[in-house]
Every structure is written in C-alpha cells, then in structure tokens.
Structure 1
C-alpha cells in the first residue's frame, strides 16, 4: 500500500531535474486518472501532451459495481435487461435526456426515441442481442433537445453473460461528451468523416466530405484540397468557391475552374509535404503570400499520404487568430490519413467508371435515325450509386416497307460484363430484325442466342414493330415493363400486353404478340425499371407516376418531355427511356408485289406486270423503260443463279421508285471489274448501276433482297 511504498529504499531518492510527471483525469469526475512519468527535460512537449490526452480520452472506465446488479444505481449508470427491454437509469442520465424521474416508463424505446435518427443504427448494434458478443462497448451518439442543436453523449458499457453464453444484461454509464473532450477533438467527427469517405465515389465527393467534416466544426474560413500531380498542386476543391475569397496570387494564376501551381513556388508547403506531418502556423507566422493569405489568423497544412506516396495536401485557414488546442494536431493527422486513402480510391473509381462508361457509350446508338411519320428521342442515365454501370439499352431500327422497330432492354447485373452483353444483344436483335423476321421470331432468336452463350445472365426486352403507313403496331415483351401510351386526347394507358419470360431463361419459351393501333399524335413510352422502381417506390406506383407525368406533358416537344420524366429519378440504378410520337405519313407509298414463277416466260411476265403497274401509277415513259431494264436484269440473275422462290416488290414514295427482287441465296451479286468484248454475261449489274440512282443488297430471312432506286425528273 502507500505506507509500504513510502518506507521503501527508493522513497527518499531525489528525482532527476529532467524527471517529469503528468496526471490526467479519465472518465467522469472521480472515475480515475492516468499517471505518466519519465525523463523529459523541460516537461512534456506538445506532441507528448497530445498523445497522453488522446490515450486518456480513449481509456474505457470500468463499469461501477453497483450497476451490475439490480440494486441502487449511481446517477450516471444504467442497467438494461436484454430479454425485456426494461432499463434502470440514474438521475443524471434522465437529466441529460430531459426526462423527469416520474415521467420515465422504464422502457429503452423511450430513450431511443430522443436519439438523432442517423445515430440509431450504431445504438441498435449495442442493444440488439442478436448482433452482440460478450465484452465492453463504447460509442458516442447525439440526442435531440427541446432547444438548440443536438447534444453529444458518450456511452461506456459492458455486456454480461446469461444462460448459454448469450448476453443477458448491458450495464454502464452515460455522460455528457462535452465534459470529456473539447469541441474540436471529437472522435466521433473522425468516425463520421471515415463513414463519409467510405461512400465517396469521386474526388469531388472526397472534397465535399472533408469540407463538411472540418470547416464548420473548426470554425475555419476556407479549405482547399489539392492533389499532387507531376510536382504540381492541382486544386480540386475550394470552399468557399469564389475567387475573391482566396489570395491575390491565386486569383492571378486562376485557370478555367481551379488554380494549380508548382510545389516549388511555395517552399513552406513543399517542406510540409516532404515531412509528411500536419503543420500548424499560428497568426503572425512568416509565410509566403500564397500561403499566408490563406490563413492570416492561423494556417494548418495536412499532407495526404496514400499508398506509400504523397497524394496531395489540405489547407485550412482562419482569418481571425485561432488558438490551436493541444489535441487538434491529432485530429487533423487522423483526417489527413483518411483523406489520402480516400483520394487513392476515388482515382481508381474514376478511372474504372470512365472505362466502363466509355464502353457503354460506344455500345449505345450515337444518334437516332430520322423516321417517316414519327419522331423518337432517347435518354440514358448511368447510376450514381457504386462503381459499375448496368446493361440498359435502347435502339431504333428502320425496316423495310416503312416499318420501324423500337427496342428497349436491361441485362442483369451492373458491371462491364453486363455492358458487354448489352451490346451483343442489341446487335443480335438489330440483325434478326433486319432479316425481316416477325417480332416474336426476332425475340425468340435472341433468346436462343443468349442461352447458347452460356453467360449465366438474363435480359429483359420490349420490342415494338410499327407500320408507319397504317399506324398498326405489334408488341412483344420478354419479362420487361409494359409500354405506356399517351393518346391524342391526353389520356394515358399502361398497356396490358401479354409477355414471355426474360431472355436466356427458358429454351422453349413463347413470346406472344399483342397488336396495337396508333392514331396520329399518340406517344409511346418504353423505359427500364430504374425510372419507376426504387427502394422506396414499388413498381406499380412508379408506373402510375410515369403515366400521370406523361399525361401532363406537351407531346409537341418530345425532348423536353423526356427530360421532365427523368427529373427527380432515383439514381440507384441506371435508366433508359425511349419515347416515340406517331404522326402518320403525309404521303403513303404505293406498293405492289409479284411472285415470279420458274417458267420459261418468267422474265416476260415480270416485265408485263411492271409495265402495267407503273403506267397505273402514271410514271413517265423514260422511267418505265429504265424500270423494265432493271427488272429484267434482277429477275434474270435471281432465276439463273439461285434456287427457290423469287419475289418482285415495287414501291413509289413521292418521286422515288424502288424495285426489289428477293431470292433464297445469301450471296450478294458480284460487280465485275472488267468485261471483255466477247463475254456473253456479267453486264447485268453494270446496267443496273448505270440506270439507277442507287442500288444495294439487304439480307432477309432465308436469303437476300437486291434493290435499285429510280428517281423521276422534275
């Protein structure tokens, strides 16, 4: 005991003049103290004091013995039964919560109801037994007060075991956190900064988190976050952002958005970066103007280490003289380490996000085609949550005979694999549609392709084939959302179309067709679930909202309608939106078809049909003569070089006549480079090219179609 120590041989030994002793209180008043002794000439320095204060600050005070039973509790103690949720609390705790003894019902929920909602998860992790293990607990949390800002409290407790080793009781103390630390050394502030930085996806997100965590609590006038790139400091975040709030030398070097400067232009800052430790300069310190004007009342420079190198620096400045508390350096050092690591992660995030985003942008249409009798607009918004982008896509595919296919889909997953598969599915659907297959066959082919790829991913899809001449449409859905129609009178309708399973799920899947009739002025909206579904909005409510907003929109400006529909969209998932307004064709094409039989007079019959049709269409004689030559050559080539059926199609749109011959061979006709004067063949394609305005080949289901366009004069 003390008497034995006093009588010991070393008790009378005279201490060295360099010997120093430090005594620091721990916990609430009377809880105990921390004693430190050692050889420190001139006493403990600032760094040593900061270290000791931080140690004393984090020492867990033993729970009072009186709190471990059901007897009378000290004023600052509590005892919580984990089975019943009943809690016994001391009078001091009730005063902190602003509850009178007579008004407390003994339920832990009553105290939790006074807690700031953002801090409830941390508290619940302590009081929910399913997530606990035996041992000590310590955390800081905030409670709401009748007036003024929330108050910070500190809980220190111990879980006591019951039967089967499960926690039976939580006992401990609750104290006003402001009595245990000064306002600027808030450990919880570092915890909150760490939580914010953990979710920061970009460099700007990191900067915003640092400003929110440090500027207001430290009462700083300005904060700058700069990255070190090739021995230059590139400022990425300034708060406040106005140039007038920063030194004159900074304004003179202002770039397009933020300033940058070589490190050697600021020797003091360069020395701080080389040292790798937080540096503090009080008011009146001799600094170069580029730094001195940042904080005339005090300046803190925080080097930001990351991955074995210096990522940058954070500058914090005060206009009025600022007294740096002893433990402020420890706080700033901890924040600097967190910020440096966050910057490293943010750069990796930005690089990968840009790579995947570029991949997806190259896989989506650069622009939508001009359509006969309709206007289409599309929008795509990548998700803002997390790193990866998803597999949402859209497409508009012009087809033969004034048909247009509108496609929207969503591949499962949010990664580069989903984006790549999206591009493959878009290409496949476009190829199958261009071959002339019906909508259900197009989707069925895409389903079989995805199954054969064995990717373990599935995709949803909506495919709408619209005949622009008549307004007739056919819709096929593969696990995707229903289209939403806005009728010309302003009413909206969520189409109750039949649908099949998602692509890549079932081998023998069926995809039923739903016919539609579009009147001029009808708007069709195709979208993915990111626009209408989120964690707080179910799918039906989201579809109803989309229908209401579409009804209130002005369809005359379809681009503005698309932008309005995306306003306020939850960005937890990527969003694709495709809008089409059907206007109807002002001039409908004239069409005729002739099946060419394989008989000796087949070419003559085709010419006779062509002459009769073009005269009925009242085309000039020279155009009829050119058309007869083209039909003779194309039909002859099909009969001579292919087998199977041959079909002749003619269409007239305005002054342009198209002649097309379809056959069963996939091989395109070869245009000869040269023909000898004695050759008996090979001149057909040369003649077609000579008399037509344009010609080409289109792959179709079961073969190809060779076409040629003639344009009337005038």
Structure 2
C-alpha cells in the first residue's frame, strides 16, 4: 500500500514572518511596507525646512526605538547614534548636497538597547526646489550587520600603518568643544594645548566671515604671523578664501606650487617654506549649508594626507563649524540680553555732595538669559540720597521688563519724599498690580550726608555691609519684611526701618545675592568672603568696587547676575593743626566698646598726646555705656583737637535719645549714677547740646586736666 504524504503548506504571519503549516495569504495582503520589513528595512521622511524626521514602524525597529522614545526630531536619534557617527553622516550628506547629487548613502554603527553594536546602512533621495535648494530627503534604513560581517570587503580600509584612529580624536575634540560656550572659548580650545596635535599639524589658523571678509581670530604654531593680518576678502585670490567660497576642502602637497597658483600669498608661503613646511590643508567651516569661516593647517610633509587623514580633517572641521555656529548664536543673544539689561539700569549716577558713589553690574557668565538685578541712586532734597538694590525673580526678558517698571516706580516714590518703609510698601502694591506673578527682593536706604544718619529697610533682601574708619566690617541688624509683591499678596505691608549712623570715612556696601551666594554653600560663607574682601580692599569707593569685581565675581558671581552699589562718606580728618577722628559704636556690636577705646588711645598717641589717653578712655567708656544701656540706638564718637594756643582735645558722644543726662548723688551702696561725677572730675569742661533728633555730650581735656579722681 502506498502511503501518500500530506503536503506541508507554507504560510505567512505578518507578526513573525513566514511559517509552516499555514495558508498562504493572498498577494494583495502584503503591502509595500511589509515587503521592506521582511528584509529588515524601514523608511524615513526628513523635512529639512521644518526640521522633522518621520520613521515608520520598521525604521524604528532598525534603530531599536519604541514609538514613545522618538519625537520626530533628528536630535533624538542620539539615543542610538554616537556623536562621532553622526558627524560622519552629516559630512556625507553635506558633501552630496554641495556636489548636487540626487542621493546619498553610507554605513554607520548604532548602539542597541542591550549595548550591542549594529552596522546600519542608509540611502536617501534628495528632493530640491526649482532653485536647486534641498528641502526634503526620503529614504530607507536597514540593518547591515550580516552584510558587512559576511562581506568585509565591502569597505576596504587602507593599511593599518597608514590609518589614524578617527573615533578617539573626534570624541576628544567633541568633548573639549562641548564645554566651550563662546567663540572665545572655542578659539582657546583650538589654539591651546593639544589643539594642533589633534590634526597632527605644525600650524593652525582659524578665520571667521565678518562683513564679507575673513578675519583671523585664532592662530598657533607657525601660523602665528597670520594673526596680525587685516581682514581679507574671500574672492578666490587666496586658498582659504577659495575653500570658503566653494565650500570644498583644499589639500596642497607642495607650498611652492601653491605660491604659483596664488601670487597674493607668495610672501607668506616663502616664510613657511623657510621653516621647513611643505603642505597645507584649507578647510571650509560650513554649518547648515552656509559658510561661516575657514580653517588652515600647515604640515612639514605632504605625505600626511592619507585617506583617513582627509576624513579626520573633514570630520573635525564639521565639528568646529557646528560648535562655532552655536557659539556665535550664544554671543549674539548674550550681547542682546546684556544690552537690554544695561538699558534698564540708570544711565548716569548723580553726584552727591559729601560722599562718593560707585556702581557695578555683572551679567552671569553661564546662560544667555537677561536677569532682573538692578541698582539706583536717587538724589533727594536737603543733601540726602536714596540707595536701592534689588532683584526681580527669574532670568528672562520678562524679569528685565518688570525690573525696569519697578525701578522707575520705586524711584518716583523715593523722590516724593516718603520714608523707606512707605517707599517699599508702595512699591510692593505697584508690583502686585502688574500683570505678572513675579516678586522682587529689595533694600532701600536714605542717607543724610550732612549728619550721617541712615534710615534703612529691607524686603527679603540683604542689608548693607558697613566698613568703619578703622577697617572693621560688620553687617548691621537691619530689620525687614517680605519680598515686594509677595507682601501685598498676603497683606503684610510692614517694612520696619532701622536707624544707623555713617560717620565720615565709613562705607556702605549693597549688593544682590549673586555676589555672596553659590549653589551648595551656605550664604554666610559668601557674606564672610565679602566682608573680608571689603576689609582688605582700598578705601576709595571706585577702587573698592574694582577690587570686589576682580576678587569675587569669578568666585561667587559667575553663575548669577550681580548688582553692586557702594557709598563712602567723605572723610573728615580736620587739619594738620586740628585733626579729627570719628567712629560709630553699634548697639548690637559687643566688641565695639573695646575697639572704640583702643582706637582713641592709638589716635592720641599718633597726635603726640599720650598723656591724655587714660582720662579720655575712661570718659569715653562712661559715655558710651550710658548710651548703649539707656537708649535704643548706637553712638557716634568724635575726638578732635581744638585749635587754640593751648592744645586741648574734645570728646563728643552723640546718640538719638532726647533724654538729657542728670547729675545725681548716689549713696555709698549704689551701683550706678557716678558717670557724670567721673566726667566732671576728669574733664576741664563738659556739657550737653541738642543734635538733630538727639543730643551730644561733650567733654574737653588739656594740660590742666585733673589726672586722677584721687588727686
């Protein structure tokens, strides 16, 4: 008996491909996309105008991407395509476009999800408009691993001894340029240590197109003389200009032949050959189809131009061009941002009688956004001046616009004569009424330059730093309220004032937090650094501002905008025959009393009156203790020599209390009340007189002064 075998029927499952034992589907059920997928091939549609890249399902599979991982942007392929491979593909595409080819193709490697390396092939058709400009590329991508593994001869390589390792050099250059932000940074990378070595060159020159001419911005090695050349036109009379104009690299094996072809560069070529150089490469810097500059490399041997070395030069030139384009855009945007910020700040600082004022503004070195930091100086009647520093939340043009409006409003409120507490309260309401959700911090102080009194208030901002006449620095405890805008939102418009005294020769320093704050560190670290820099800095206000800029901006203010305002009250040393010293003792400064007594003794010794030091020091201690214990503020201490035939010194202690001292007769067991008795015994004369909203107690000492309470 003959057994007939049942025929095995083949079939197709669109999910897993051909299978056995299934019915064969009709031909109409296998579409074009499925035919490509059967061969591991996907398609793409790249719209150059919109910058979008569409991949079909099979194309995503080739790149081992899930649909949610790809957002139709070419940059998103960085998940699978390394920067080095991307540069090679970009170079191949650019070369095809420049040559007018209808298509382009190339092999590259991707890294799959599991870390495996996969050879991939792409082939695309370049669609052009009527002017010949490319606007769309439609093509395919496929897994070419088996093809290249089984047929390595597809891409024969030069002998190993003639090859340069492309990937490491490109990677190192890409890493170095990725940290470069400005054109100056990129120039430093190329002309600095290791710049020429990446190309194996003996000389390097970088030029950019500016106003229709090539201007050399960076040179190194034997190309140094190019740095002194004026901008030149790229009209084909010079090899670099021709490379830039045609967007085609030019490799020259003999500089002698170069001089014959380009007579305009005979003198320079003669100098190069005298140094033993024989060859040169002139590379265009092209970004998005537009020439932005050129790159010249000089070598001692023309044998260096192997296939791999040409590929290396082209790849690095493409990387440099992309980095320069990014940096040029950054520089333009930053110039616009800093210009806008400067336009929002006051153009001129008014001159004030009795004090020197210095202001500085420093834009953040990282980031291109404009900030909301500002300063202002408002001239007020009766020899008073208003000092303002502030910072609007955010770093964008909206913050700058809000800052400009708020600065003008606050200036108007100050000019109307309102006290600091009212100025800040009105400014807070003004900011809350603007169509913005931003808030602002601010510090405002009104300084009476005639008497030295200071009324200060804060709105979530740092108070002023004070440098005293003896060099000591301190942060007075200036009370404050909530930031402007936020205070109105929660209906807390209280901005309490703090009264200070600024004696002749003392300095107020206001700044925004960018000068004292750094990420990861407590703000007190920066405040201590600022206090130290002010203490060690020069006395003149302009010199001090420069000192702080040179020593602190690179350390603390590089990541944020900084506004700095300094006011120094003119010193009052008297004359050579009648010298004078001033000092302020703050109520919250526990060491102020001891420092003041020491300063008095040192001053009297400098005036050659050391015999009066004991009496003056004791009297000053009694008067200062009385102020610090029985008033709510500090004391201004003045010591001066009276210009009379008999030299005497006068000690004056001024405070803000209207209560005059009374002489009392304390009992034997009393622990207080003897201060004026001691003053009366030590001084030749003493008295009390009104000063502004307070009083001043003075006493005089001379040769006839009683030397001791027991004398």
Which residue of 2 is the match for residue 205 of structure 1? 185
Is 1:136 aligned to residue 136 of structure 2? no
2:502 matches 1:512: no
Asked whether the 8 Å contact 1:246–1:294 carries over to 2, the reply is no
Contact 1:224–1:315 (CA<8 Å) still a contact in 2? Answer: yes
**Contact in 2 for aligned 1:470/1:584 (Cα 8 Å):** no
The equivalent residue for 1:155 is none
CA apart distance, 1:448: 0.9
Shift of 1:305: 0.9
Is 1:559 equivalent to 2:530 in the alignment?
Answer: no
Q: Distance between the aligned counterparts of 1:137 and 1:425, measured in 2?
A: 58
- Cα distance between partner residues in 2 of 1:307 and 1:294: 33
Which one of 167, 190, 195 corresponds to residue 187 of structure 1? 167
**In structure 2, distance between residues paired with 1:376 and 1:369:** 9
Q: TM-score, normalised by structure 1?
A: 0.53
Preserved CA contact (<8 Å) 1:373 1:586: no
**Counterpart contact for 1:469–1:585, Cα < 8 Å:** no
Give the 3 Å change call, closer, same or farther, for CA 554–206 of structure 1 in structure 2.
closer
Shift of 1:445: 0.8
Aligned to 1:581: 568
Contact 1:384–1:572 (CA<8 Å) still a contact in 2? yes
Contact 2:517 2:523 in 1 (8 A): yes
Query: In the alignment, which residue of structure 2 is the partner of 1:272?
Result: 243
Deviation at 1:306, TM superposition (A): 1.2
Post-superposition Cα deviations, 1:408-428, rounded to whole Å, max 9, x if no partner, equal: 111122222222222212111
CA distance in structure 2 between the partners assigned to 1:431 and 1:305 by the alignment:
52
| 2:41 corresponding residue in structure 1 | none
1:537 CA drift (Å): 4.2
Alpha-carbon shift at residue 456 of structure 1 (Å): 1.8
Q: Is the 2:389–2:442 contact (alpha carbons within 8 Å) kept by the matching residues of 1?
A: yes
Distance 1:230 1:463 in 2: 47
Equivalent residue pairs, number: 411
Q: Give the direction of change, closer, same or farther, for the CA distance of 1:182–1:465 in structure 2 (3 Å limit).
A: farther
2: CA distance between counterparts of 1:183 and 1:550?
A: 59
3-state SS of 2:332 partner? helix
Q: Deviations over 1:315-354 (max 9, x none)?
A: 1113466623431222221221222222322332222222
Q: Matches of residues 374-453 of structure 1 in structure 2 within 5 Å?
A: 374-453=355-434
TM-superposed deviation, 1:565: 1.2
Q: What is the DSSP-based 3-state SS (H/G/I as helix, E as strand, rest coil) of the residue aligned with 1:474? A: strand
Unaligned 5+ segments in structure 2 are 1-105, 119-158, 260-264, 575-711
SS class of match (1:503): coil
Q: Specify the SS of the correspondent of 1:473.
A: strand
CA separation in 2, counterparts of 1:393 and 1:181? 62
Task: Note if 1:546 corresponds to 2:530.
Answer: yes
In the alignment, is the contact (CA less than 8 A) between 1:486 and 1:550 conserved in 2? yes
How well do the aligned residues superpose, as a CA RMSD in angstroms? 3.1
Moved more, 436-445 or 332-341: 332-341
Q: Which residues in structure 2 correspond to 1:677-688 (within 5 Å)?
A: none
Secondary structure class of the residue paired with 1:428:
helix
Runs of 4+ aligned residues of structure 1 deviating over 6 Å after TM superposition are: 179-183, 584-587
1:447 Cα offset (Å)? 0.8
Distance (Å, rounded) in 2 between the aligned partners of 1:343 and 1:443: 46
Q: Is the 8 A contact 1:460 1:479 kept in 2?
A: yes
- 1:259 aligns to 2:230 (yes or no): yes
Contact 2:163 2:309 in 1 (8 A): no
Match of 1:478 among 456, 459, 462: 459
Residue ranges of structure 1 left out of the alignment (5+ in a row): 1-53, 61-131, 139-178, 588-714
The TM-score, its normalising length taken from structure 2, stands at 0.53
CA pair 482-189 structure 1, distance change in 2 beyond 3 A: farther
2:281 aligned with 1:300, yes or no? yes
| CA distance, structure 1, for counterparts of residue 423 and residue 117 of structure 2 | 62
Check conservation: 2:243, 2:294, Cα contact below 8 A.
no
Distance 1:59 1:360 in 2: 45
Instruction: Measure, in 1, the Cα distance between the counterparts of 2:390 and 2:272.
Output: 53
Q: 8 Å contact 2:340–2:370 — kept in the other structure?
A: no
Distance of aligned partners of 1:281 and 1:547 in 2 relative to their CA distance in 1, 3 Å threshold:
same
SS at match of 2:436: coil
